[in-house]
Chains A and B, each alone.
Chain A
Amino acid sequence: MPDIMQMGVRQIREGLAEGEFSAREVARAALDAIAERDGSVHAFLEITESQALEAADRVDAAAAQRALDELGPLAGVPVAFKDNMNQEGTHTTCSSRMLESYVSPYTATCVQRAIDAGGIPLGKLNMDEFAFGSSTETSAFGPTRNPWDLERVPGGSSGGSAAAVAAGMACVTLGSDTGGSIRQPASFCGVVGVKPTYGMVSRYGVVAFGSSLDQVGPFARSVEDAAWALQAICGHDPRDCTSQDLDIDFLSAVREGAQSIRGMRVGIVKEFLEAKGLSDEVREKIQEATGKLCDAGAEIVEVQLPHADAAISAYYVLGPCEAFSNLARFDSVRYGLADHGHKDLSGQYEASRAAGFGAEAKRRILLGSYLLSAGVYDTYYYPAQQVRTLITRDYVQAFEKCDAILAPASPRTAFKFGEISDPAQMYLSDIFTVPINIAGNGGMTVPVGLGSQTGLPVGVQIIAPQFKDANMLRVAAALEQAYGTASVAPEFAGEKAGE
């Protein structure tokens, strides 16, 4: 039997439909892969074996009645969730001591939809604490390692979600992206990662970081698998008033991919290619990918984003302010870590929050506290919201001239643990991704091979106009056709391949 853990969504479905294997066997293969591989990767914080087997039995029951299609787009697909997503009965720690013993009493809409669609839930995935970071090094429970080079970070904050897919421990995972937390780790781990337009996926039950910026999306090894996942998780949810009621056929967009790119206008941004800090190997890959899209029949146009420079500073004003507000809920009274050695409530608050939050979480909270204080508000916060208008306007104008934009995802390939210790320097990992959260557009990373200098995976980012996420999937499908589908990282693909 071929290795189930290297299969995509469609292969799994076909295998189940034809009785080549059962969903129980899929679940078993995934749990075995985790047991075998996660000791070196550390993508998982919790493994939900009983939920996985229970879900597998539901899928097998549907397969027996030839009702896999009715079950949903992820029937029998091993899935896993970032640990900021509530799943009833699991720990939802956000990789923080603050929530170490918190057990979810309910399930996030995106998680529920993935399970309802037939997904086999394997467990919860490591992340930067409260999603504050670009390397998964700020997790209170130890970092995740990059499956392509275990000495390097997987990116972040959804590092566990990217690494689990890259190491073949899951077929599809969900992450969240506030400033690049899906797209940057996807680039570092050589997988596909999609941040849909703000409002495409319900945020209900996902622990909030920056409420006007957060969006949930999938990781997968192929554009088609990502489309299947989007098909499952997108859509209106009455519990998130910002979620939109749209009917987008992601799968058709992917299937039409290579043909429908003909005549599509793909924008290239000079400001991005000339950006300080962009490595030569990433720039080369962008130029190469541009050429491939041109060969496939796309029309390449140059577009301007004059306020691109401002995005990173706007983000590091808006993000911490929203985080400061959202993290006020951790009060050591209703849930979360509590230090009871104090006679008064404010002493309990201060000691509990001091013990529960790590250094980066404290930095962001205090930065937000400063930026929202009287007098300072008018210097940074209000102007940042005005700059947001300028950045959004740039994208609206750019998309008058093109249907999608091709850009770097990260300035460089995966770095080594401890290599970037200055917080302000770490923030620059996100220069190409944060503008998209600020403008609310969709953006996704698709792998385009290995960098010429480091030999590590490089991803390019494709950006779509708001709610035209199908556009970026089309471009991604064309690139995938040119470069080949992403594979499990070599170290984890060898043993079982060809069996």
Chain B
Amino acid sequence: MTQHLTEDDVRGMAAYARIGLDDQELAQMTVDLNSIIDTLKPITEFDLEGVEPTFHPIGSLSNVMREDVEQPSFTQDEALANAPRQQDGSFLIPSILGEGGDR
């Protein structure tokens, strides 16, 4: 099996994807990802010179527009109903400025 990724690489990707991994998970994830990436090799072996990419299965689609008029939508209460924490009609998060200062 080719080593496509080191544990450090995986740690970096996990940080980018905002997923915490402990050391044991990190080791297993590195093994799994290397094994999966091995199976993707055929993609790198095609002669794709001049082949246009297909980003969407229906070729004929174009942008869909509508009049810019108000449509029924959630009330503030409905939008907040699933929020783990809320305050004064807003989503509540830890302080994002300065030294922590949680609430």
A→B interface (CB under 8 Å): 101-103, 105-106, 198-199, 212-213, 238, 241-242, 244, 309-310, 312-314, 316-317, 324, 328, 332-338, 340, 342-351, 353-354, 357, 362-363, 365-370, 373, 379-380, 382-390, 392, 422-424, 427, 437-440, 466
Do the beta carbons of B19 and A309 come within 8 Å of each other? no
Do the beta carbons of B33 and A363 come within 8 Å of each other? yes
Contacts A238-B66, A366-B33, A424-B35 given: A349-B18 contact, CB under 8 Å? Answer: yes
Do the beta carbons of A338 and B85 come within 8 Å of each other? yes
Write out the residue numbers on chain B whose beta carbons fall within 8 Å of the beta carbon of A335: 82-84
Please name 18 pairs of A and B residues whose Cβ atoms are closer than 8 Å in the assembled complex, sorted by A.
Answer: A309-B42, A332-B84, A334-B83, A334-B91, A344-B96, A344-B100, A345-B96, A350-B20, A354-B19, A354-B21, A363-B29, A366-B10, A367-B33, A380-B40, A386-B54, A424-B38, A427-B36, A440-B58
- A407 to B68, alpha carbons, bound, how many Å? 47
- A466 to B94, alpha carbons, bound, how many Å? 49
- A373 to B33, alpha carbons, bound, how many Å? 15
Write out the residue numbers on chain A whose beta carbons fall within 8 Å of the beta carbon of B43: 310, 313-314, 317, 380, 383-384, 387
Do the beta carbons of A344 and B94 come within 8 Å of each other? yes
Do the beta carbons of B44 and A380 come within 8 Å of each other? yes
Do the beta carbons of A389 and B32 come within 8 Å of each other? no
Which of B14, B91, B94 makes the CB contact (< 8 A) with A366?
A: B14
Q: Residue-by-residue, is B41-67 near A (CB-CB < 8 Å gives 1, otherwise 0)?
A: 111101010011111111001011010
Binding site secondary structure of chain A? helix
Expressed in whole angstroms, the minimum distance between the Cβ of B54 and any Cβ of chain A is 4
Do the beta carbons of B5 and A198 come within 8 Å of each other? no
Expressed in whole angstroms, the minimum distance between the Cβ of B26 and any Cβ of chain A is 10
Which of A334, A336, A385, A427 makes the CB contact (< 8 A) with B54?
A: A385
- A418 to B78, alpha carbons, bound, how many Å? 41
- A340 to B84, alpha carbons, bound, how many Å? 9
Binding site secondary structure of chain B? loop
- A389 to B50, alpha carbons, bound, how many Å? 11
Expressed in whole angstroms, the minimum distance between the Cβ of B49 and any Cβ of chain A is 10
Do the beta carbons of B85 and A390 come within 8 Å of each other? no
Do the beta carbons of A370 and B33 come within 8 Å of each other? yes
Which of B54, B58, B95 makes the CB contact (< 8 A) with A242?
A: B58
Do the beta carbons of A348 and B32 come within 8 Å of each other? no
Write out the residue numbers on chain B whose beta carbons fall within 8 Å of the beta carbon of A347: 94
Write out the residue numbers on chain A whose beta carbons fall within 8 Å of the beta carbon of B84: 332-333, 335-338, 340
Which of A105, A313, A362, A423 makes the CB contact (< 8 A) with B42?
A: A313
Question: Is B88 interfacial (CB 8 A cutoff)?
Answer: no
Question: Is B69 interfacial (CB 8 A cutoff)?
Answer: no
Do the beta carbons of A310 and B13 come within 8 Å of each other? no
Write out the residue numbers on chain B whose beta carbons fall within 8 Å of the beta carbon of A344: 94-96, 100
Write out the residue numbers on chain A whose beta carbons fall within 8 Å of the beta carbon of B61: 241-242
Contacts A386-B52, A389-B53 given: A103-B82 contact, CB under 8 Å? Answer: yes
Do the beta carbons of B16 and A342 come within 8 Å of each other? no
Do the beta carbons of B81 and A105 come within 8 Å of each other? yes
Question: Is B2 interfacial (CB 8 A cutoff)?
Answer: no
Do the beta carbons of A353 and B36 come within 8 Å of each other? no
Write out the residue numbers on chain A whose beta carbons fall within 8 Å of the beta carbon of B38: 424
> Which residue, B39, B57, B79, B101, has most C-beta atoms of chain A within 10 A?
B57
Q: Residue-by-residue, is B2-23 near A (CB-CB < 8 Å gives 1, otherwise 0)?
A: 0001000110011111111100
Do the beta carbons of A382 and B53 come within 8 Å of each other? yes
Expressed in whole angstroms, the minimum distance between the Cβ of B80 and any Cβ of chain A is 9
Write out the residue numbers on chain B whose beta carbons fall within 8 Å of the beta carbon of A387: 43, 46, 48
